[in-house]
Structure 1
Amino acid sequence: MKQPIQCELWEKPELARLPIRECFELLETIAYESHHWRYLLRCRECGQLYFFEFLEFIDWKHGNDPQYSTYIPVETAEEIEILKSTSPGQLLLFYPRLQIDRPSDAKSPSVSWIGKDEDLPHPPTLPSRLVAFVRRWLFASIRVFRAGRS
């Protein structure tokens, strides 16, 4: 995955806070559930493709549901297929990616590129402990998500 330097979002990531239809054309709905969406999007300005995910966890106690959106620039059908087969936690291994995170205690979402300015290792070289942590986090999150739905 390459840095989308031609895309306006690269320099103005806050534009991703606008409604999706204002900045992007929907090319494919990969998943659509009430708290989990996955789309293939095309930037209306430059044509850059993005794999998009929205994930929301229900905060039954306080009602301030944490929400997380991820935009990963893609170029090839192979990249798209790889991302389609990943779990939400596994998406954190790919970059560059644009993250919009609103934890339950945040007053407003944070918007930032991961992998823009950092010298990050290629995902296959990540320590196995990190991969194991992400997997544990993912499975715990899924259990919490499913428990809240029943």
Structure 2
Amino acid sequence: MTEFATFGCEACCAEDALVAREHHHSYSGVRIEKMIQDDSHFIVSVKRCELCSQAFVSVFTEYVDWAASNDAQYRTVLPVTDAEAADLMEGRLTPHQAGALGRGRRYLQSDWPSDADDPTVYWSGGVFEVREGY
């Protein structure tokens, strides 16, 4: 994806989205630097890669499936600059404004709708909407 600005290392921003997701989910891969919002259906945090120190904003949204109890879950992991990470952690940039940072960058997306057996994991790019779950 050469049209996007380059961030991170071969582990946290691996070309294969599944490899990158595995690194982000491993205990030694990416650590939480600061929890920005921690609600039951909406979690936003700033994370940092243990290998290259790349900062990320992670946005998790869950929608309760009241009928079948199979809640839809969506996660976006966007690389951010150190200045943007600081702005998020200090409240100068709200979680809902984070989606605008996606312009010109690729981000790791995991979509797990209620009717799917497994999540779809892929790289995407561009501005994205940050919404709270319910």
1:74 to 2:77 alignment: no
Alignment gaps of 5+ in structure 1: 124-130, 146-150
Bigger shift: residues 79-88 or 35-44 = 79-88
1:3 to 2:9 alignment: no
Instruction: Give the letter aligned to residue 6 of structure 1.
Output: C
Rounded Cα–Cα distance in structure 2 between residues aligned with 1:74 and 1:92: 11
Q: Which has the higher contact order (CA 8 A, sep 6+)?
A: 2
TM, length-normalised to structure 1: 0.66
TM, length-normalised to structure 2: 0.73
In the TM superposition, structure 1's runs of 4+ consecutive aligned residues that sit over 4 Å from their partners are none
**Larger Rg computed on CA atoms:** 1
Alignment counterpart, residue 18 of structure 2, candidates 4, 14, 39: 14
For 1:1-150, list aligned pairs within 5 A. Answer: 2-4=5-7, 6-8=9-11, 9-15=13-19, 16-17=21-22, 19=25, 21-78=27-84, 81=87, 84-87=93-96, 91=99, 94=102, 95-115=105-125, 138=131, 145=134
Alignment gaps of 5+ in structure 2: none
Per the alignment, do residues 25 and 5 of structure 1 end up closer, same or farther by CA in structure 2, a change over 3 Å counting? closer
The DSSP-based 3-state class of the residue aligned with 1:91 is helix
Looking at secondary structure, tell me which structure has more strand per residue.
2
Bigger shift: residues 103-112 or 2-11 = 2-11
Rounded Cα–Cα distance in structure 1 between residues aligned with 2:26 and 2:57: 13
Identity value in percent: 27
The DSSP-based 3-state class of the residue aligned with 2:44 is strand
Q: CA RMSD in A?
A: 3.1
Aligned-residue offset at 1:65: 0.4
Aligned-residue offset at 1:33: 1.0
Aligned-residue offset at 1:77: 1.7
